[in-house]
Amino acid sequence: MIKSSLLLLSASLMAGCTLAPRYERPQAPVAANYPAEAAGTAARPVELGWREFFADARLQALIAAALENNRDLRTAALRIDEARALYNIQSADLLPTLNGQVSNSNARVPVTLSPTGLSTVSRSYQVGLSLTSFELDFFGRIRSLNDAALAQYLATAEARQAAHIGLVAETAKAYLAERAFDEQYVLAQKTLEGRESAYRLAKQRFDVGASSALDLRLNETLVGSARVALATLARQRAQAANALALLVGKPMTDLPTAQMLNSQGIVAELPAGLPSDLLTQRPDIRAAEQRLIATNANIGAARAAFFPRISLTAGVGTASNTLSGLFDAGSRTWSFVPQLAIPIFDAGRNSNSLDLAHVRKHIAVADYEKSVQVAFREVADALAARATLNEQLDAQRSVGEAQADRLRLADLRFKNGVASSLEVLDAQRELFNAEQALVQTRLLRLTNAIDLYRALGGGLQENAASAAK
């Protein structure tokens, strides 16, 4: 019997059949090429470490701290440990479970039930090993469940990598937003100082009758609008700093000096490649595919439920009615209980379980295809923006230079009595707006480069050397 059970166990362990459908990756529901120019002169984003992509030493320190302390990324890492534990639990069903057993039984038989007419007390002691309900996986049910658990574990690991990439990008964007608000705040502060000086001069001219009340009120309006802009930018800068602190996960001190937006040196000319490259470059797409693989494996487990299940229960040991006689000659015991369960009537449970498995696979296919489409759109949007932002930045810079020259000429005309103060005030207002818009355009260009870097799967590696490993 023991030899027979061992043979059956060996057959079960060697059984590799599965009733899961053969997995085939769905066709990507996107175009073969991006609508905008996808060429670039830099290295591929997946090979370009974030320390090479972001040249600002202050930003590098913030990203490193965020990767170490951010709670969302820490939770994602713990999810991997959770999925690994669940996979190991499921994998344990592939092997038999052996338990050591020690038991003592005591029973008293009353006089009324005793065949001898006397009450008796019986005792028994037993020591041994037992194999409990081990299923022989001839139809791959356990193996399919194990494959599904493995795919879920791999999907969790990919999701953690996606969170890593997202954190790098969001930290950089939050830092640049804080820098932009700071630059705009400095411009607003200088503008306010200049307008207050102009207002004092206008007040003196009004007091001696050299200018009208209209000129004075216009100067007063410009001072008020500058104060409004300064207060607004102060609030926005503080809120951006709070958002950055949340991403970093801890207070940061002794940071390197911050660089201006026009000195960031972020790599903008990234090659996008082909849309098919996203299937391997983007961890969120790989995670969606692993979830699809898991649902495909669950179909195999649902199909196997229609077939008989063979399970084994066995035990070997010694037994005696006295503790001292447990290991005497002739005390050996064994049991071997094979069990065959054939599904006959289950009120449609197995059929509905199989239907549910198929529906969940269709859902997973739709989720996978949507992940591909979202990734394609993110890259396409970033490429479309890149094609116009350089031109927009040059144009906005030209506008700022023209407005500065206009203010200089208007001031000369006013001092020579050729133009009124209204022309100077209007030139001051337009220059301030142009300077603020230039900062925003620089920020848009930098965040666009970050969005493209993230959309192409960049930011997972720290440097090119680690990406090559």
Of the candidates 2, 290, 11, the residue with the CA atom closest to the CA atom of residue 128: 2
Position 336 in a domain:
no
Position 342 in a domain:
no
**Side-chain half-sphere of 364: how many Cα atoms within 13 Å?**
27
Q: What is the pTM of this model?
A: 0.86
Residues 306, 375: Cα–Cα separation, whole Å: 40
* 3-state SS class at 388: helix
Structure tokens at 418: 């050729």
At residue 372, what are phi and psi to the nearest 5 degrees? -65, -45
> Letter for the amino acid at 301?
A
Position 114 in a domain:
no
Taking each continuous run of H as one helix and of E as one strand, the counts in the chain are: 11, 4
Contact 442, 449 (CB under 8 A): no
Structure tokens at 313: 């229960």
Residues 43, 354: Cα–Cα separation, whole Å: 47
Of the candidates 293, 290, 368, the residue with the CA atom closest to the CA atom of residue 80: 290
- The residues of the chain scoring below 70 in pLDDT are 1-16, 464-469
Of the candidates 50, 76, 175, 57, the residue with the CA atom closest to the CA atom of residue 460: 50
Contact 317, 128 (CB under 8 A): yes
Position 5 in a domain:
no
User: How many residues are there in the chain?
Assistant: 469
Q: What is the DSSP string of 222-255?
A: HHHHHHHHHHHHHHHHHHHHHHHHHHH-S---SP
**Side-chain half-sphere of 103: how many Cα atoms within 13 Å?**
13
Looking at the structure of the chain, the number of domains it has is: 1
Which residues form the domain of 294? Answer: 13-96+138-308+349-468
Element (H, E) at 126: strand 120-136
* 3-state SS class at 22: coil
Position 432 in a domain:
yes
Position 156 in a domain:
yes
pLDDT in tens, 184-204: 999 999 989 888 888 888 888
Give the burial class of 57: count Cβ atoms within 10 A of its Cβ; 0-12 exposed, 13-18 middle, 19 or more buried. middle
Contact 286, 158 (CB under 8 A): yes
Residues 295, 303: Cα–Cα separation, whole Å: 13
Of the candidates 428, 443, 420, the residue with the CA atom closest to the CA atom of residue 190: 428
Q: How far does Cα 186 stand from its chain's mean position? A: 36
Position 124 in a domain:
no
pLDDT in tens, 296-344: 999 999 999 999 998 989 989 898 888 777 788 878 888 888 898 999 9
Residues 49, 56: Cα–Cα separation, whole Å: 14
Query: Domain holding 387: CATH number?
Result: 1.20.1600.10
Contact 342, 8 (CB under 8 A): no
Contact 48, 266 (CB under 8 A): no
Residues 237, 182: Cα–Cα separation, whole Å: 6
CA angle 361, 365, 368 (to 5 degrees): 135
Element (H, E) at 56: none
At residue 231, what are phi and psi to the nearest 5 degrees? -65, -40
Position 315 in a domain:
no
Residues 250, 73: Cα–Cα separation, whole Å: 14
Q: Which residues of 342-354 are buried (b: 16+ CB within 10 A; e: fewer)?
A: eeeeeeeebeebb
Contact 177, 242 (CB under 8 A): no
Q: How far does Cα 162 stand from its chain's mean position? A: 4
Any idea which residue has 């001898």 for tokens? Answer: 116
Q: What is the pLDDT of residue 3?
A: 52
**Side-chain half-sphere of 362: how many Cα atoms within 13 Å?**
6
For the chain, percent helix, then strand, then coil, each to nearest 5?
A: 65, 10, 25
Collect all residues with Cβ–Cβ distance below 8 Å to 228 and sequence separation of at least 6. none
